A and B are shown apart, each in its own frame.
Chain A
Amino acid sequence: MDKFEQAFQNKLDNEEKIEPKDWMPEKYRKTLIRQISQHAHSEIVGMLPEGNWITRAPSMRRKIGLLAKVQDEAGHGLYLYSAAETLGIDRAELFDQLHSGIAKYSSIFNYPTISWSDIGAIGWLVDGAAIMNQVMLTRASYGPYARAMVRICKEESFHQRQGYEMMVSLANGTEEQKEMAQDSLNRWWWPSLMMFGPSNAESTHSAQSMAWKIKRKSNDDLRQQFVDVTVPQAEYLGLKIPDDKLKWNEERGHYDFGEINWDEFWEVVKGNGPCNKERLETRVKAHENGAWVREAAMAYSEKLNTAVNHK
């Protein structure tokens, strides 16, 4: 171990943060770029399934809440892209990786939002699962990533609450509304559990990320934590979680739950989910259609600078 590597390791051991200009192993840098950009892409692509319902929200209260939430996701994407850029990759390249399919985003956003109650289920379950993961990441060893996570977590709890409030209204509404809420829970439950990623034994990056203190908890531990806090919330709604094996285990002090369909998980990761193609096409189109705006703004700025310099 050379002295740079030693200094890096000492910082990790002493719970000091690694900052952008500090020496770091190339693999640590690469892992962070992959993870942070994947996280950023998820925020941006995650705007699509929800944006789908903004114009059809059933009341003004729901509409402004959803609008503010989707706006936040754009902000979260920005914080994360900025954190990734401190590692020496530029924004255009990050976008290229997303648009060409090299970079991934969370598979959850490849499922369709076919009813209004899906928006409630997403806020409650998807944001709930994301929060579990993100709270852990506020202690990540890379400073800019950890700081972005602190901002994001502060804003995220409103997302989950607006979703759950929606579920409460629907679950206490007409028979039809309650069925709608149950149907959303049925469809979003398992994909939400998949959000934590493959089980520990199957996860290729986990061990190294934990050693580098990027991750602090394993995928399976986070998943268990999510199940444990979410089950009582479903019970409060009077809705049934679609898992016959779900049962409180007194001995473990946790809920036991059924096996995740990993074939489905890998199929969606590989690009064969219900909406993979549509999501990516929408992103690419938005980016390409915005090109002239970006160019015009730059041209205007250059013109202004020239004018100032000639004065």
Chain B
Amino acid sequence: MEKKNWPLWEVFLRSRSGLHHVHAGSLHAADSEMALNNARDVYTRRNEGVSIWVIESKNIIANDPSESESFFEPASDKIYRHPTFYEMPNELKHI
């Protein structure tokens, strides 16, 4: 019996112009054209998208969640990056 799977692809949809592409799901396909056609047939059956990206799952690089604490640490103590850090006189408007 053949055991070889078609490669796995991730599907990203732009639901309408003006919005980002958002991950919609995944599928198996032999090549990029088939991945795109299958993504259209499965993930946009009810006009959910105006644009589709597909990328082979193995090409996505992700951070390791077990190390996310140290990975995201540089941002956690920098409250001065937020507008509320700065004190404004109460009577001031439009700022």
Chain A interface residues (CB < 8 Å from chain B): 4, 19, 21-23, 71-72, 75, 78-79, 82, 85, 90-92, 147-148, 151, 155, 291, 294-295, 297-298, 300-301, 304
Cα separation A148 to B27 with both chains bound (whole Å): 13
Given A82-B25, A82-B27, A297-B31: A92 in contact with B5 (beta carbons within 8 A): yes
| Contact status A71-B25, CB under 8 Å | no
| Contact status A82-B26, CB under 8 Å | yes
Q: Does B78 contact A (CB under 8 A)?
A: no
Given A78-B27, A297-B31, A304-B31: A155 in contact with B46 (beta carbons within 8 A): yes
CB under 8 Å from chain A, chain B span 21-75: 25-28, 30-31, 34, 42, 45-46, 62, 64-66
Given A92-B5, A291-B2, A295-B2: A75 in contact with B42 (beta carbons within 8 A): yes
Cα separation A79 to B24 with both chains bound (whole Å): 10
| 8 Å CB contact of B45 from A23, A72, A301 | A72
Most chain A CB inside 10 Å of its own CB: which residue of B6, B8, B42, B62: B42
A90 proximity list for chain B (CB < 8 A): 5
**Closest 7 A/B residue pairs (Cβ):** A297-B30, A301-B31, A301-B30, A82-B26, A21-B65, A75-B42, A92-B3
Closest chain B residue to A68, Cβ basis:
B45
B30 proximity list for chain A (CB < 8 A): 294, 297-298, 300-301
12 residue pairs of the A-B complex, CB under 8 angstroms, read A22-B65, A78-B25, A79-B25, A91-B5, A91-B28, A155-B45, A294-B2, A295-B2, A298-B30, A300-B30, A301-B30, A301-B31
A148 proximity list for chain B (CB < 8 A): 25
| Contact status B26-A75, CB under 8 Å | no
A297 proximity list for chain B (CB < 8 A): 6, 30-31, 34
Q: Does B4 contact A (CB under 8 A)?
A: yes
How many chain B residues touch the partner (CB < 8 A)? Answer: 20
B27 proximity list for chain A (CB < 8 A): 78, 82
Cα separation A304 to B32 with both chains bound (whole Å): 11
B66 proximity list for chain A (CB < 8 A): 4, 21, 23
| 8 Å CB contact of A21 from B4, B46, B62 | B62
A92 proximity list for chain B (CB < 8 A): 3-5
Closest chain A residue to B30, Cβ basis:
A297
Closest chain A residue to B65, Cβ basis:
A21
B46 proximity list for chain A (CB < 8 A): 155
Cα separation A298 to B4 with both chains bound (whole Å): 9
Given A75-B42, A294-B6: A85 in contact with B65 (beta carbons within 8 A): no
Given A22-B65, A298-B30, A301-B30: A75 in contact with B45 (beta carbons within 8 A): yes
A295 proximity list for chain B (CB < 8 A): 2
A51 smallest CB distance to B (angstroms): 17
A156 smallest CB distance to B (angstroms): 12
| Contact status B8-A85, CB under 8 Å | yes
Cα separation A291 to B27 with both chains bound (whole Å): 18
B5 smallest CB distance to A (angstroms): 5
Convert B1-17 into 0s and 1s, putting 1 for each residue whose CB lies closer than 8 angstroms to a CB of A. 01111101000000000
Cα separation A148 to B42 with both chains bound (whole Å): 13
A291 proximity list for chain B (CB < 8 A): 2
Closest chain B residue to A144, Cβ basis:
B25
A91 proximity list for chain B (CB < 8 A): 5, 28
Cα separation A79 to B38 with both chains bound (whole Å): 13
| Contact status B45-A298, CB under 8 Å | no
Closest chain A residue to B38, Cβ basis:
A78
Closest chain A residue to B4, Cβ basis:
A298
B8 proximity list for chain A (CB < 8 A): 85
